Amino acid sequence: MNSRSTKVAIAGAGIGGLAAAIALRQRGCEVVVVEQAAQLGEVGAGVQMSPNAVKVLRAIGVEPLIRDLSCEPLAFTGRDWRSGRVLYRTPIKGTYERVYGAGYYHVHRADLHRALIERLGDTDLRLGLRVAGIEQDRHAASLKLESGETIEADVIIGADGIHSAIRRSILGDEKPRFTGNICWRGMVPVDALPKGHVELASSNWLGPKGHVVHYYVKGGAMVNFVAVYETDEWTQESWSTPSSVDEILKTYAGWNQELLTTFSKAERCFKWALYDRDPLARWSQGRVTLLGDAAHPMLPFLAQGAAMAIEDGYELASKISDVQSLAGIEEALAEYERQRIPRTSRVQLGARARGATMHLRSPWARMKRNFGFMLQGLRTPESTTHRAEWIFGYDATAR
Ligand SMILES: Cc1cc2nc3c(=O)[nH]c(=O)nc-3n(C[C@H](O)[C@H](O)[C@H](O)COP(=O)(O)OP(=O)(O)OC[C@H]3O[C@@H](n4cnc5c(N)ncnc54)[C@H](O)[C@@H]3O)c2cc1C
Protein backbone atom coordinates (compact mmCIF):
# COMPACT_ATOMS: atom_id res chain seq x y z
CA MET A 1 0.00 0.00 0.00
CA ASN A 2 1.25 3.50 -0.67
CA SER A 3 -0.25 6.77 0.56
CA ARG A 4 -2.39 7.12 -2.59
CA SER A 5 -4.52 4.17 -1.61
CA THR A 6 -4.98 5.04 2.07
CA LYS A 7 -8.71 5.33 2.71
CA VAL A 8 -9.78 7.62 5.53
CA ALA A 9 -13.31 7.94 6.92
CA ILE A 10 -14.08 11.12 8.86
CA ALA A 11 -17.07 11.48 11.20
CA GLY A 12 -18.19 15.12 11.24
CA ALA A 13 -18.06 17.93 8.67
CA GLY A 14 -17.33 20.74 11.12
CA ILE A 15 -14.35 23.05 10.70
CA GLY A 16 -11.89 20.39 11.92
CA GLY A 17 -13.26 17.49 9.88
CA LEU A 18 -13.32 19.55 6.68
CA ALA A 19 -9.79 20.92 7.17
CA ALA A 20 -8.52 17.36 7.68
CA ALA A 21 -10.40 16.11 4.61
CA ILE A 22 -8.89 18.83 2.37
CA ALA A 23 -5.36 18.21 3.67
CA LEU A 24 -5.73 14.43 3.18
CA ARG A 25 -7.02 14.88 -0.37
CA GLN A 26 -4.13 17.24 -1.14
CA ARG A 27 -1.82 14.38 -0.16
CA GLY A 28 -3.56 11.85 -2.35
CA CYS A 29 -5.63 9.95 0.22
CA GLU A 30 -9.11 8.66 -0.51
CA VAL A 31 -11.56 10.37 1.87
CA VAL A 32 -15.17 9.92 2.88
CA VAL A 33 -16.82 12.41 5.26
CA VAL A 34 -20.03 11.50 7.10
CA GLU A 35 -22.13 14.28 8.61
CA GLN A 36 -25.34 13.99 10.62
CA ALA A 37 -26.82 17.29 9.38
CA ALA A 38 -28.94 16.93 6.27
CA GLN A 39 -27.76 20.33 5.05
CA LEU A 40 -24.37 21.88 5.52
CA GLY A 41 -23.95 25.21 7.23
CA GLU A 42 -22.64 26.85 10.36
CA VAL A 43 -24.32 28.87 13.06
CA GLY A 44 -24.73 32.63 12.63
CA ALA A 45 -21.72 33.66 14.67
CA GLY A 46 -18.17 34.84 14.17
CA VAL A 47 -14.90 33.06 14.70
CA GLN A 48 -11.44 34.53 15.25
CA MET A 49 -8.72 32.96 13.12
CA SER A 50 -5.31 33.58 14.62
CA PRO A 51 -2.04 33.38 12.60
CA ASN A 52 -1.39 29.74 13.55
CA ALA A 53 -4.74 28.76 11.97
CA VAL A 54 -4.33 31.12 9.02
CA LYS A 55 -1.00 29.45 8.11
CA VAL A 56 -2.88 26.15 7.70
CA LEU A 57 -5.79 27.79 5.87
CA ARG A 58 -3.22 29.23 3.47
CA ALA A 59 -1.60 25.82 2.92
CA ILE A 60 -4.95 24.18 2.12
CA GLY A 61 -6.02 26.98 -0.23
CA VAL A 62 -8.80 28.41 1.96
CA GLU A 63 -7.24 31.74 2.94
CA PRO A 64 -7.85 33.49 -0.41
CA LEU A 65 -11.51 32.45 -0.28
CA ILE A 66 -12.16 34.15 3.06
CA ARG A 67 -9.87 37.16 2.81
CA ASP A 68 -12.41 39.58 1.36
CA LEU A 69 -15.19 38.41 3.66
CA SER A 70 -13.08 38.77 6.79
CA CYS A 71 -11.98 41.76 8.80
CA GLU A 72 -8.47 42.23 10.09
CA PRO A 73 -8.58 44.10 13.41
CA LEU A 74 -6.20 46.94 14.08
CA ALA A 75 -5.52 45.76 17.62
CA PHE A 76 -6.51 43.71 20.64
CA THR A 77 -8.04 46.04 23.17
CA GLY A 78 -8.96 45.43 26.78
CA ARG A 79 -11.52 47.77 28.33
CA ASP A 80 -12.85 48.25 31.83
CA TRP A 81 -16.40 46.88 32.14
CA ARG A 82 -17.85 50.04 33.69
CA SER A 83 -15.76 53.06 32.71
CA GLY A 84 -14.73 51.76 29.28
CA ARG A 85 -11.15 52.84 30.04
CA VAL A 86 -8.61 51.17 27.76
CA LEU A 87 -6.54 48.73 29.82
CA TYR A 88 -4.35 47.53 26.98
CA ARG A 89 -4.05 47.87 23.24
CA THR A 90 -1.66 45.67 21.29
CA PRO A 91 -1.31 46.09 17.53
CA ILE A 92 -2.47 43.39 15.09
CA LYS A 93 -2.82 44.80 11.57
CA GLY A 94 0.59 45.52 10.09
CA THR A 95 2.30 43.63 12.93
CA TYR A 96 1.10 40.02 12.93
CA GLU A 97 2.08 39.18 9.36
CA ARG A 98 5.60 40.38 10.15
CA VAL A 99 5.91 38.86 13.63
CA TYR A 100 3.95 35.59 13.24
CA GLY A 101 3.99 34.99 9.47
CA ALA A 102 0.23 35.42 8.92
CA GLY A 103 -2.58 37.84 9.69
CA TYR A 104 -5.44 37.62 12.21
CA TYR A 105 -8.92 37.33 10.69
CA HIS A 106 -12.42 37.80 12.00
CA VAL A 107 -14.78 35.78 9.87
CA HIS A 108 -18.39 34.67 9.91
CA ARG A 109 -18.53 30.92 10.56
CA ALA A 110 -20.81 30.37 7.57
CA ASP A 111 -18.25 32.09 5.29
CA LEU A 112 -15.41 29.94 6.61
CA HIS A 113 -17.48 26.78 6.31
CA ARG A 114 -18.52 27.64 2.74
CA ALA A 115 -14.88 28.18 1.77
CA LEU A 116 -13.88 24.82 3.27
CA ILE A 117 -16.68 23.08 1.36
CA GLU A 118 -15.57 24.78 -1.85
CA ARG A 119 -12.02 23.48 -1.35
CA LEU A 120 -13.39 20.02 -0.56
CA GLY A 121 -14.35 19.79 -4.23
CA ASP A 122 -15.59 16.35 -5.26
CA THR A 123 -14.66 14.59 -2.00
CA ASP A 124 -17.20 11.93 -1.00
CA LEU A 125 -19.38 13.83 1.50
CA ARG A 126 -22.41 11.98 2.86
CA LEU A 127 -25.00 14.12 4.61
CA GLY A 128 -27.88 13.18 6.90
CA LEU A 129 -26.08 10.12 8.30
CA ARG A 130 -25.45 9.76 12.01
CA VAL A 131 -22.43 7.83 13.18
CA ALA A 132 -23.09 5.45 16.09
CA GLY A 133 -19.54 4.26 16.73
CA ILE A 134 -16.75 2.16 15.26
CA GLU A 135 -15.77 -1.46 14.83
CA GLN A 136 -12.23 -2.65 14.28
CA ASP A 137 -9.94 -5.64 14.37
CA ARG A 138 -6.27 -6.02 13.40
CA HIS A 139 -7.06 -5.87 9.68
CA ALA A 140 -9.78 -3.25 9.20
CA ALA A 141 -11.86 -0.55 10.83
CA SER A 142 -15.32 0.70 10.01
CA LEU A 143 -17.67 3.48 10.90
CA LYS A 144 -21.00 2.16 12.16
CA LEU A 145 -23.93 4.35 11.18
CA GLU A 146 -27.23 4.51 13.05
CA SER A 147 -28.90 3.37 9.82
CA GLY A 148 -27.08 0.04 10.22
CA GLU A 149 -24.75 0.72 7.30
CA THR A 150 -20.99 0.46 7.80
CA ILE A 151 -18.16 2.28 6.00
CA GLU A 152 -14.83 0.49 5.97
CA ALA A 153 -11.55 2.44 5.94
CA ASP A 154 -7.84 2.14 6.73
CA VAL A 155 -8.10 4.99 9.25
CA ILE A 156 -11.07 6.54 11.04
CA ILE A 157 -11.09 10.08 12.38
CA GLY A 158 -13.63 11.23 14.95
CA ALA A 159 -14.15 14.93 14.19
CA ASP A 160 -17.65 14.82 15.63
CA GLY A 161 -17.41 17.50 18.29
CA ILE A 162 -17.73 17.67 22.06
CA HIS A 163 -20.32 14.85 22.29
CA SER A 164 -18.29 12.61 19.97
CA ALA A 165 -19.71 9.14 19.34
CA ILE A 166 -16.27 8.01 18.18
CA ARG A 167 -14.65 9.16 21.41
CA ARG A 168 -17.32 7.27 23.39
CA SER A 169 -16.71 4.21 21.27
CA ILE A 170 -12.94 4.09 21.87
CA LEU A 171 -12.50 5.77 25.26
CA GLY A 172 -15.80 5.14 27.04
CA ASP A 173 -18.63 7.35 28.18
CA GLU A 174 -17.43 10.26 30.27
CA LYS A 175 -19.50 13.41 30.28
CA PRO A 176 -18.07 16.87 29.52
CA ARG A 177 -17.76 19.22 32.52
CA PHE A 178 -19.98 22.29 32.95
CA THR A 179 -17.53 25.14 33.52
CA GLY A 180 -19.92 27.47 35.35
CA ASN A 181 -20.06 29.89 32.41
CA ILE A 182 -23.04 30.82 30.33
CA CYS A 183 -22.56 32.54 27.03
CA TRP A 184 -24.66 34.70 24.73
CA ARG A 185 -23.89 35.38 21.11
CA GLY A 186 -25.46 37.93 18.84
CA MET A 187 -24.93 39.78 15.58
CA VAL A 188 -25.56 43.49 15.11
CA PRO A 189 -25.86 45.22 11.71
CA VAL A 190 -23.38 48.09 11.62
CA ASP A 191 -26.05 50.35 10.11
CA ALA A 192 -28.07 50.06 13.32
CA LEU A 193 -25.25 51.57 15.41
CA PRO A 194 -24.05 55.17 15.65
CA LYS A 195 -21.20 55.82 13.21
CA GLY A 196 -17.82 54.68 14.59
CA HIS A 197 -19.52 53.15 17.65
CA VAL A 198 -17.45 49.96 17.51
CA GLU A 199 -13.69 50.10 17.11
CA LEU A 200 -12.06 47.95 14.39
CA ALA A 201 -10.50 45.72 17.03
CA SER A 202 -10.78 42.48 18.87
CA SER A 203 -12.37 44.23 21.85
CA ASN A 204 -12.47 42.57 25.26
CA TRP A 205 -14.50 44.13 28.08
CA LEU A 206 -13.38 42.73 31.41
CA GLY A 207 -15.63 42.81 34.47
CA PRO A 208 -16.52 40.94 37.64
CA LYS A 209 -17.82 37.43 36.84
CA GLY A 210 -17.83 38.01 33.11
CA HIS A 211 -16.38 39.43 29.95
CA VAL A 212 -17.57 40.43 26.49
CA VAL A 213 -15.75 40.15 23.18
CA HIS A 214 -16.84 41.89 19.99
CA TYR A 215 -15.47 42.33 16.51
CA TYR A 216 -16.54 42.96 12.91
CA VAL A 217 -17.36 40.19 10.42
CA LYS A 218 -18.88 40.10 6.90
CA GLY A 219 -16.32 42.55 5.53
CA GLY A 220 -17.32 45.08 8.19
CA ALA A 221 -21.10 44.92 7.72
CA MET A 222 -21.89 43.17 11.01
CA VAL A 223 -20.58 43.18 14.57
CA ASN A 224 -20.40 39.82 16.32
CA PHE A 225 -20.45 39.67 20.11
CA VAL A 226 -19.87 36.90 22.62
CA ALA A 227 -20.85 37.69 26.20
CA VAL A 228 -19.78 35.30 28.96
CA TYR A 229 -21.10 35.33 32.53
CA GLU A 230 -20.57 33.02 35.46
CA THR A 231 -23.61 31.15 36.76
CA ASP A 232 -24.56 27.82 38.18
CA GLU A 233 -28.16 27.92 37.12
CA TRP A 234 -28.51 26.84 33.53
CA THR A 235 -26.49 24.21 31.75
CA GLN A 236 -27.75 23.43 28.26
CA GLU A 237 -24.91 22.90 25.77
CA SER A 238 -26.41 23.94 22.46
CA TRP A 239 -25.65 26.66 19.96
CA SER A 240 -29.28 27.36 19.19
CA THR A 241 -31.21 28.04 22.40
CA PRO A 242 -32.94 31.37 21.72
CA SER A 243 -32.44 34.20 24.20
CA SER A 244 -33.39 37.88 24.14
CA VAL A 245 -31.79 41.31 24.26
CA ASP A 246 -33.68 41.89 27.52
CA GLU A 247 -32.06 38.88 29.16
CA ILE A 248 -28.59 40.10 28.16
CA LEU A 249 -29.27 43.68 29.28
CA LYS A 250 -30.51 42.36 32.63
CA THR A 251 -27.36 40.25 33.12
CA TYR A 252 -25.03 43.12 32.21
CA ALA A 253 -26.89 45.88 34.05
CA GLY A 254 -24.35 48.45 35.27
CA TRP A 255 -21.82 47.70 32.48
CA ASN A 256 -20.68 50.45 30.14
CA GLN A 257 -23.46 52.14 28.14
CA GLU A 258 -21.51 51.81 24.88
CA LEU A 259 -21.61 48.04 25.27
CA LEU A 260 -25.28 47.99 26.27
CA THR A 261 -26.14 50.02 23.16
CA THR A 262 -24.39 47.38 21.03
CA PHE A 263 -26.36 44.59 22.74
CA SER A 264 -29.63 46.47 22.29
CA LYS A 265 -29.30 46.42 18.49
CA ALA A 266 -28.78 42.66 18.17
CA GLU A 267 -30.96 41.04 15.54
CA ARG A 268 -31.26 37.71 17.31
CA CYS A 269 -29.50 36.31 20.36
CA PHE A 270 -28.72 32.78 21.44
CA LYS A 271 -27.30 31.38 24.64
CA TRP A 272 -25.53 28.24 25.68
CA ALA A 273 -23.61 26.77 28.55
CA LEU A 274 -19.86 26.31 28.20
CA TYR A 275 -18.45 22.83 28.72
CA ASP A 276 -14.94 21.46 28.49
CA ARG A 277 -13.02 18.32 29.40
CA ASP A 278 -9.70 17.58 31.02
CA PRO A 279 -6.79 16.92 28.66
CA LEU A 280 -6.30 13.27 27.72
CA ALA A 281 -3.12 11.21 27.53
CA ARG A 282 -4.33 9.26 24.46
CA TRP A 283 -6.71 10.03 21.57
CA SER A 284 -6.33 6.87 19.52
CA GLN A 285 -7.08 3.19 19.60
CA GLY A 286 -5.86 0.96 16.80
CA ARG A 287 -6.69 2.72 13.52
CA VAL A 288 -9.10 5.21 15.06
CA THR A 289 -8.25 8.66 16.34
CA LEU A 290 -9.84 11.99 17.24
CA LEU A 291 -9.35 15.65 16.42
CA GLY A 292 -10.76 19.03 17.41
CA ASP A 293 -13.47 19.25 20.06
CA ALA A 294 -13.86 15.47 20.04
CA ALA A 295 -10.31 15.22 21.39
CA HIS A 296 -9.87 18.41 23.44
CA PRO A 297 -12.95 20.62 23.94
CA MET A 298 -11.92 23.87 25.58
CA LEU A 299 -13.30 27.12 26.84
CA PRO A 300 -13.32 29.80 24.12
CA PHE A 301 -11.27 32.24 26.23
CA LEU A 302 -8.17 31.98 24.04
CA ALA A 303 -10.29 31.74 20.84
CA GLN A 304 -8.38 28.59 19.88
CA GLY A 305 -10.84 25.65 19.64
CA ALA A 306 -11.32 25.83 15.87
CA ALA A 307 -7.69 26.84 15.35
CA MET A 308 -6.51 23.71 17.21
CA ALA A 309 -8.93 21.56 15.17
CA ILE A 310 -7.49 23.02 11.95
CA GLU A 311 -3.90 22.41 13.09
CA ASP A 312 -4.82 18.85 14.19
CA GLY A 313 -6.32 18.12 10.77
CA TYR A 314 -3.24 19.27 8.90
CA GLU A 315 -0.71 17.45 11.07
CA LEU A 316 -2.78 14.26 11.14
CA ALA A 317 -3.02 14.29 7.33
CA SER A 318 0.73 14.62 7.13
CA LYS A 319 1.30 11.63 9.46
CA ILE A 320 -1.28 9.43 7.70
CA SER A 321 0.01 10.17 4.22
CA ASP A 322 3.58 9.30 5.27
CA VAL A 323 2.51 5.74 6.07
CA GLN A 324 3.98 3.18 3.68
CA SER A 325 2.04 0.11 4.85
CA LEU A 326 -1.04 -0.61 6.95
CA ALA A 327 1.26 -1.87 9.69
CA GLY A 328 2.51 1.70 10.09
CA ILE A 329 -0.86 3.27 10.83
CA GLU A 330 -0.89 2.77 14.58
CA GLU A 331 2.60 4.26 14.86
CA ALA A 332 1.54 7.22 12.67
CA LEU A 333 -1.40 7.91 14.99
CA ALA A 334 0.87 7.60 18.03
CA GLU A 335 3.23 10.12 16.43
CA TYR A 336 0.29 12.44 15.76
CA GLU A 337 -0.62 12.27 19.46
CA ARG A 338 2.96 12.90 20.53
CA GLN A 339 3.04 15.99 18.35
CA ARG A 340 -0.39 17.39 19.22
CA ILE A 341 -1.34 16.45 22.78
CA PRO A 342 1.24 18.59 24.63
CA ARG A 343 0.22 21.68 22.65
CA THR A 344 -3.56 21.23 22.78
CA SER A 345 -3.43 20.32 26.50
CA ARG A 346 -1.54 23.52 27.22
CA VAL A 347 -4.14 25.53 25.31
CA GLN A 348 -7.04 23.75 27.09
CA LEU A 349 -5.60 24.53 30.51
CA GLY A 350 -4.53 28.01 29.43
CA ALA A 351 -8.09 28.82 28.36
CA ARG A 352 -9.39 27.80 31.80
CA ALA A 353 -6.77 29.91 33.55
CA ARG A 354 -7.54 32.91 31.40
CA GLY A 355 -11.17 32.88 32.53
CA ALA A 356 -10.01 33.43 36.09
CA THR A 357 -7.91 36.46 35.05
CA MET A 358 -10.73 37.97 33.03
CA HIS A 359 -13.52 37.53 35.61
CA LEU A 360 -11.83 38.80 38.77
CA ARG A 361 -14.42 39.85 41.36
CA SER A 362 -12.23 41.82 43.73
CA PRO A 363 -11.61 45.45 42.66
CA TRP A 364 -8.10 45.19 44.18
CA ALA A 365 -7.25 42.12 42.16
CA ARG A 366 -8.52 43.86 39.02
CA MET A 367 -6.43 46.94 39.79
CA LYS A 368 -3.31 44.78 40.21
CA ARG A 369 -4.05 42.92 36.96
CA ASN A 370 -4.63 46.18 35.08
CA PHE A 371 -1.38 47.60 36.39
CA GLY A 372 0.38 44.51 35.01
CA PHE A 373 -1.25 45.11 31.61
CA MET A 374 0.03 48.69 31.67
CA LEU A 375 3.59 47.69 32.53
CA GLN A 376 3.65 45.01 29.87
CA GLY A 377 2.36 47.47 27.26
CA LEU A 378 5.19 49.85 28.12
CA ARG A 379 7.90 47.20 28.19
CA THR A 380 6.88 45.14 25.14
CA PRO A 381 4.25 47.07 23.16
CA GLU A 382 4.00 44.44 20.39
CA SER A 383 3.57 41.39 22.61
CA THR A 384 0.07 40.13 23.30
CA THR A 385 -1.22 40.99 26.72
CA HIS A 386 -1.99 37.37 27.52
CA ARG A 387 1.37 36.13 26.27
CA ALA A 388 -0.03 34.16 23.35
CA GLU A 389 3.17 34.27 21.27
CA TRP A 390 3.69 30.50 21.67
CA ILE A 391 0.21 29.95 20.21
CA PHE A 392 0.38 32.40 17.29
CA GLY A 393 4.00 31.69 16.31
CA TYR A 394 3.39 27.95 15.77
CA ASP A 395 3.42 26.70 12.19
CA ALA A 396 1.75 23.31 11.69
CA THR A 397 2.68 23.40 8.01
CA ALA A 398 6.39 23.45 8.79
CA ARG A 399 6.36 20.27 10.89
C1 LIG B 1 -18.63 31.07 22.22
C2 LIG B 1 -17.57 30.38 21.45
C3 LIG B 1 -16.70 31.14 20.71
C4 LIG B 1 -15.65 30.52 20.03
N5 LIG B 1 -14.77 31.30 19.34
C6 LIG B 1 -13.72 30.71 18.75
C7 LIG B 1 -12.77 31.51 18.05
O8 LIG B 1 -12.90 32.73 17.97
N9 LIG B 1 -11.71 30.88 17.45
C10 LIG B 1 -11.55 29.52 17.50
O11 LIG B 1 -10.57 29.00 16.95
N12 LIG B 1 -12.45 28.73 18.16
C13 LIG B 1 -13.53 29.30 18.77
N14 LIG B 1 -14.44 28.52 19.41
C15 LIG B 1 -14.28 27.05 19.43
C16 LIG B 1 -14.78 26.41 18.15
O17 LIG B 1 -16.08 26.83 17.84
C18 LIG B 1 -14.76 24.89 18.25
O19 LIG B 1 -13.62 24.47 18.94
C20 LIG B 1 -14.77 24.28 16.85
O21 LIG B 1 -15.94 24.61 16.18
C22 LIG B 1 -14.60 22.77 16.94
O23 LIG B 1 -14.65 22.24 15.63
P24 LIG B 1 -14.83 20.69 15.41
O25 LIG B 1 -14.83 20.50 13.91
O26 LIG B 1 -13.86 19.93 16.23
O27 LIG B 1 -16.25 20.32 16.02
P28 LIG B 1 -17.71 20.86 15.63
O29 LIG B 1 -17.67 22.24 15.10
O30 LIG B 1 -18.56 20.58 16.83
O31 LIG B 1 -18.16 19.89 14.43
C32 LIG B 1 -18.56 18.56 14.67
C33 LIG B 1 -19.39 18.10 13.46
O34 LIG B 1 -19.70 16.72 13.65
C35 LIG B 1 -21.07 16.51 13.39
N36 LIG B 1 -21.47 15.37 14.20
C37 LIG B 1 -21.58 15.31 15.55
N38 LIG B 1 -21.97 14.09 15.93
C39 LIG B 1 -22.10 13.34 14.81
C40 LIG B 1 -22.48 12.01 14.56
N41 LIG B 1 -22.78 11.15 15.56
N42 LIG B 1 -22.51 11.56 13.27
C43 LIG B 1 -22.18 12.41 12.24
N44 LIG B 1 -21.83 13.69 12.42
C45 LIG B 1 -21.79 14.15 13.69
C46 LIG B 1 -21.73 17.80 13.80
O47 LIG B 1 -23.01 17.95 13.19
C48 LIG B 1 -20.72 18.83 13.32
O49 LIG B 1 -20.92 19.18 11.97
C50 LIG B 1 -15.51 29.11 20.08
C51 LIG B 1 -16.43 28.34 20.78
C52 LIG B 1 -17.45 28.97 21.48
C53 LIG B 1 -18.41 28.13 22.25
Mean pLDDT on 193-222: 95
Residues of the domain holding 327: 7-175+278-393
In a domain, 366, yes or no: yes
pLDDT for residue 235? 60
Domain count for the chain, please give it.
1
Q: What is 234-303 written as a DSSP string?
A: -----S-EEE-HHHHHHHTTTS-HHHHHHHHT-S-EEEEEEEE----S---BTTEEE-GGGT----GGGS
Catalytic residue among 215, 252, 314, 394: 215
Residue 58 confidence (pLDDT) above 80: yes
In a domain, 258, yes or no: no
CA-nearest residue for atom 30, ligand 1, is 161
Q: How many CA atoms lie within 13 A of 126 on its CB side?
A: 16
330 CA from centroid of ligand 1 (Å)? 26
Residue 2 confidence (pLDDT) above 80: no
Mean per-residue pLDDT over the chain, rounded: 93
In a domain, 69, yes or no: yes
Mean pLDDT on 370-392: 84
Question: What CATH number does the domain containing 166 carry?
Answer: 3.50.50.60
pLDDT for residue 323? 87
In a domain, 157, yes or no: yes
Nearest to 294 by CA among 170, 159, 178: 159
In a domain, 251, yes or no: no
Higher pLDDT, 382 or 393: 393
User: Which atom in ligand 1 lies closest to the alpha carbon of residue 165?
Assistant: 41
309 CA from centroid of ligand 1 (Å)? 9
pLDDT tens column, 168-180: 999 998 888 889 9
In a domain, 213, yes or no: no
In a domain, 203, yes or no: no
Give catalytic status of residue 215 as yes or no: yes
User: What percentage of the chain reaches a pLDDT higher than 90?
Assistant: 82
306 CA from centroid of ligand 1 (Å)? 7
pLDDT for residue 176? 86
pLDDT for residue 381? 79
Mean pLDDT on 272-286: 93
Alpha-carbon span 326 to 262, nearest angstrom: 55
Residues with CB under 6 A from ligand 1: 11-17, 34-37, 47-48, 130-131, 159-161, 165, 183, 185, 226, 292-294, 300, 303-307, 309
In a domain, 45, yes or no: yes
Question: 241-250, 253-262, 287-296, 310-319: which has the minimum mean pLDDT?
Answer: 241-250
Alpha-carbon span 373 to 90, nearest angstrom: 10
34 CA from centroid of ligand 1 (Å)? 15
